[in-house]
Amino acid sequence: MNPVIIFLIALITVLVMTTKLRVHPFLSLITASIVVGILDGNPLDALNSVSLGLGRVFSQFAIIITCGSIIGLILFQTGGTAIIADDLIRFSRKPLFALNLLGFLFAVPVMCSILAYVIFIPIAKDIGSRLNIPKASVAASLGLGTLASFNMVYPSPVIFSAAEELGANTGEILLTGLPVAVIVTIVGYYYAKISCNFGPPPVINPSEAEDNTQGLPRINRIEAYSPICIPVILILSGVIINEQTPLINFISNRNIALLIGVMLAFISARSLGLEQIKNRTDKAVRRSGVVLLDMCGGGALGTTLSMTGIGKDLGQMFTTLNLPDIIIPFMVAVAIQSVQGSRIVTMLVAPSIVVPFLPELNLPASITLLSMASGTFLISHVNDPYFWIFGELIELKTTEIFRSYTIGGVLMGFTGLVLTYISYTILY
């Protein structure tokens, strides 16, 4: 069977199972992987590809996702996130921009845009309630900020996995991706401020507010910032320092850096006691497990699809359409994202499709990566887990989620594509 047809059947399988049958994304992705193998006539090889894809993704991301989840939850429980939020609000004097900046800064350290949103949405609700800001506006400002960095800034799992697959240079990714992401998040902020100014302000449940603050130890600013800033500094040291030594290579390894961040978070939470730290760690590990399962399922599907030769066929198809080279990776990502909903899965599957015809695109790997990353903003709807979390945590109607989250993401995605093209013309 034609690999393109197999690809479409796989995406439809995921879409039907996740939206109509309400099957968990992990099971949907594994089922689609097996369907790909059967249609390709190599079911046994497909099983091996599933195992390889699962193992590859787990080995790359298990430590960083788990550590990020622990750091984020510990900081929230100890009041560290509240300290940082207050500082940003005081610094910016613009509450909506402060929320946008919070989401942008924390989505990468906690290794999950959804987790960053979950951590800070109580702060966003409190700000909206106190200052009478519509709940759609505060939710969009925070949520779109998390998307901008998580989708485009190294070492986010979305960017890291694709960079490994494409062989992109880390320095080039940082040089091109960070400025693009900053402008994209500013676009998201203005969209939230201007176009999401509808509906009532958030309503704070008194028992919820009490649960988030009661009994929390008071930690200082160094303890609040160090679990996030130290790992980021360590990771960047491997890029910035020219003379690479065994020590620099060791401490700049993202797994080691984040484990150090976990240790610092534990130290900051010492007044909670060992039992409470253990309970919160267990909760964070369970949260990260759900994210990891979806990622592993995406890795399995990507590996199985690459077995069919889909990349070469799609490359030939897009070439005949005479599209600009920079749009092709963008369109591949949009197609996958629109059907299956997970950005991490999109950036695990898309590179395996693009790599076979990457030489024909005549694009640097970093630009190809950013083009795909821009495509992950489109089109988020009911099959995107973030779509529902975005609305449910602040009680938005489905139509309001589309107006604030989906359309905001579309605007940011096209902005990212245009900025990627501008970066390409300037730098290359």
Instruction: Render pLDDT for 354-390 as a digit per residue (tens, 0 to 9).
Output: 888 888 888 999 999 999 999 999 878 766 778 877 8
pLDDT value of position 421: 96
Average pLDDT of the chain, as a whole number: 84
The CA dihedral of 380, 382, 385, 389, to the nearest 10 degrees, is 100
3-state DSSP assignment of residue 326: coil
Question: Is the pLDDT at 24 greater than 70, yes or no?
Answer: yes
As given in the structure block, the two tokens for residue 287 are 């949260």
215: burial class by Cβ within 10 Å (0-12, 13-18, 19+)?
exposed
Q: How confident is the model at residue 67 (pLDDT cuts 50, 70, 90)?
A: confident
Using one digit for the tens of pLDDT, what is the confidence trace for 189-206?
A: 999 999 998 888 887 555
| Contact predicate 368/354, CB 8 Å | yes
Question: Is the pLDDT at 210 greater than 50, yes or no?
Answer: no
Whole-angstrom distance, CA of residue 266 vs CA of residue 223: 10
Which of 22-36, 266-280, 290-304 comes out lowest in average pLDDT?
Answer: 290-304
Angle between helices 80-92 and 43-78 (to 10 degrees): 80
Whole-angstrom distance, CA of residue 85 vs CA of residue 393: 19
213: burial class by Cβ within 10 Å (0-12, 13-18, 19+)?
exposed
| Contact predicate 106/232, CB 8 Å | no
Question: Is the pLDDT at 117 greater than 60, yes or no?
Answer: yes
Mean pLDDT, residues 241-266: 85
Distance of CA 201 to the CA centre of its chain: 27
Which of 70-74, 80-84, 226-230, 408-412 comes out lowest in average pLDDT?
Answer: 80-84
Q: How confident is the model at residue 393 (pLDDT cuts 50, 70, 90)?
A: confident
66: burial class by Cβ within 10 Å (0-12, 13-18, 19+)?
buried
| Contact predicate 330/192, CB 8 Å | no
The CA dihedral of 366, 372, 373, 376, to the nearest 10 degrees, is -170
Whole-angstrom distance, CA of residue 233 vs CA of residue 240: 10
Task: Extract the runs of DSSP E, i.e. beta strands, from 7-96.
Answer: none
| Cα distance from N-terminal residue to C-terminal residue, the chain | 39
3-state DSSP assignment of residue 98: helix
Whole-angstrom distance, CA of residue 162 vs CA of residue 212: 36
Whole-angstrom distance, CA of residue 130 vs CA of residue 283: 30
Q: How confident is the model at residue 92 (pLDDT cuts 50, 70, 90)?
A: confident
pLDDT value of position 363: 92
Return all residues near 152 (Cβ < 8 A) that are at least 6 apart. Answer: 158, 159, 177, 178, 180, 181, 184, 370, 373, 374, 416
Tell me the residue type at 293: L
pLDDT value of position 242: 64
Eight-state DSSP code of residue 11:
H
pLDDT value of position 370: 96
Question: Is the pLDDT at 123 greater than 60, yes or no?
Answer: yes
159/291: higher pLDDT: 159
Return all residues near 331 (Cβ < 8 A) that are at least 6 apart. Answer: 318, 323, 375
Residue of 111, 30, 39 whose CA lies nearest to 299: 30
- Residue 365's alpha-carbon distances to 39, 56, 319, 326, 386, in angstroms, are 31, 21, 18, 11, 28
Whole-angstrom distance, CA of residue 13 vs CA of residue 51: 20
State the SS3 of 299-322.
HHHHHHHHHCCHHHHHHHHHHHCC
Whole-angstrom distance, CA of residue 57 vs CA of residue 54: 6
Question: Is the pLDDT at 408 greater than 50, yes or no?
Answer: yes
Eight-state DSSP code of residue 377:
T
**Where do we find the tokens 């690459």?**
306
* pTM to 2 decimal places: 0.72
Question: Is the pLDDT at 180 greater than 90, yes or no?
Answer: yes
Whole-angstrom distance, CA of residue 260 vs CA of residue 56: 24
